[in-house]
Structures are given as structure tokens and as C-alpha cells.
Amino acid sequence: MTWALDNLSLIGDLAVAHLRQSLLALLLGAALALPLGWFAWRRPRLRAVVITGTGLMYTIPSLALLLILPIVVGLPATSEVNLIIALAIYVVAIMVRSVADGLESVDAHVRESAVAMGYGSRRRFWTVDLPLALPPILAGLRVATVSTVSLATVGILVGVTNLGYLFTNGLQRRITGEVLAGIVTVAVIALVLDLILALLGRRLMPWTRVAS
């Protein structure tokens, strides 16, 4: 506790960097997962291939991915862009199935009603399919969020500064308070983001409150 109070400025700076990296990865990953999940849903014959293929990406060791990406992307190994891309890949691996399952869960009668009312495919997707598919999608996003915030700490092993610094530096110098400060801060960020998503879900999906 004493170490944390004496180093609040350092913890704050690292937390801001950690949060920025995590949020950018989540935005990029979700933006990629949505069309991939839609494609898997629209092409039943390819659904297993897409979902299995993207799911396998989660089995790639994070450190190995961070060592390979600089070669592929052409950026310095210490660039946080590599970390953001790596984390986004894991987000895609988690969320593609959630998107496909969410769209699959929409009642066919609802879609037929929308078509009967003159909704085109694009309008129907954004105003009918996607809103009704939100519960599974949001559940996947919440899992991806907690996972991303935790995995981001690995970035310090390749020189990307974030809360992972508190782990490595604390262990090297045997400062238990520093390590604990890192653990607590990462946990708090993950819990706060998860709470925000839960509240957002209640706001966007009021019918789930009625159903429960």
C-alpha cells in the first residue's frame, strides 16, 4: 500500500497507456469480428471453417505472436502497434463465434415481418438483426475485454510500456507492493470496463430486463 501511494503518478501514467492499448485493440478486433461473424452466419457451409479458423488464433502464444508481428508489419519490436494488432487478433478469435451465434438466434419470423414491411437487407441488418443479436455479441465482447486487459501486460516483455512494467520491475527488484499494485490496477480496469459494458447492455437492450 505504501509503495502504491508513493508512486501514484507512475501507476496513473501506466494505467492510461494500458487502457489506450486495450481499447484500441477492442475497437479494431470488434470491427473485424462483426463482418467475419456475419459472413459465417450467411454462409452455413463455411461457418465451421471460419469459426474454427478464427478460434485457433487464440491458441497462438502471445509472446510468439509479438515476436512475429514486427517482421510481418515492418515496425520496431517495441512499437505498441504490434501489441494492439496482437490483442485485436485475440478479440477476433473470441468474438466471431459470438456474432455468428447472435445473428443465428434471431427469430426467422421477425426477419420475415421486417421483409414484409419493406425493409431491405441492409436496413434489416442494422435495425432488426443486429439489435436482437446483441445479447450474445455483448457477452463475447465482455469476455474479450477482460481477456484483452489481462493479456496486454505481456507487451512489456517486448518493450511496450504499460502496467506490465509493474510486474517485471517489481519481480526483478523484489518489491511486492509494486507487483500487487500492478495486479490490482489491471483487475480494477477490467472490472470497470466490464461494468460499463453491462450497464450499456441494459441501456441498449431494455427487453432483457423485462425478460429477467
Burial class, 112, CB count within 10 angstroms (exposed 0-12 / middle 13-18 / buried 19+): exposed
Residue 14 φ/ψ region, left for φ over 0, alpha for ψ in the -120 to 50 degree band, beta for the rest: alpha
Percent of the chain with pLDDT over 70: 97
- What per-residue confidence (pLDDT) applies to 127? 86
CATH number where 150 lies: 1.10.3720.10
Give the separation between CA 179 and CA 87, rounded to whole angstroms.
22
Report if residue 92 sits inside a domain: yes
First to last CA, the chain: 41
Report if residue 180 sits inside a domain: yes
Q: What is the pLDDT of residues 132-170, one digit of tens each?
A: 999 999 999 999 999 999 999 999 999 999 999 999 999
Q: Which letter does DSSP use for residue 127 in this model?
A: I
Report if residue 197 sits inside a domain: yes
Report if residue 212 sits inside a domain: no
Distances (CA, A) of 131 to 52, 134, 149, 155, 157: 25, 5, 26, 35, 40
Give the separation between CA 127 and CA 155, rounded to whole angstroms.
39
Report if residue 127 sits inside a domain: yes
- What per-residue confidence (pLDDT) applies to 205? 78
Residue 199 belongs to what domain range? 2-205
Give the separation between CA 210 and CA 7, rounded to whole angstroms.
46
The number of residues making up the chain comes to 212
Count of domains observed in the chain: 1
Report if residue 37 sits inside a domain: yes
pLDDT tier, 117 (very low <50, low <70, confident <90, very high otherwise): confident
Q: What is the pTM of this model?
A: 0.91
Angle formed at CA 108 by CA 106 and CA 110, multiple of 5 degrees: 80
pLDDT tier, 176 (very low <50, low <70, confident <90, very high otherwise): very high
Q: What is the pLDDT of residues 54-90, one digit of tens each?
A: 999 999 999 999 999 999 989 998 999 999 999 999 9
Report if residue 210 sits inside a domain: no
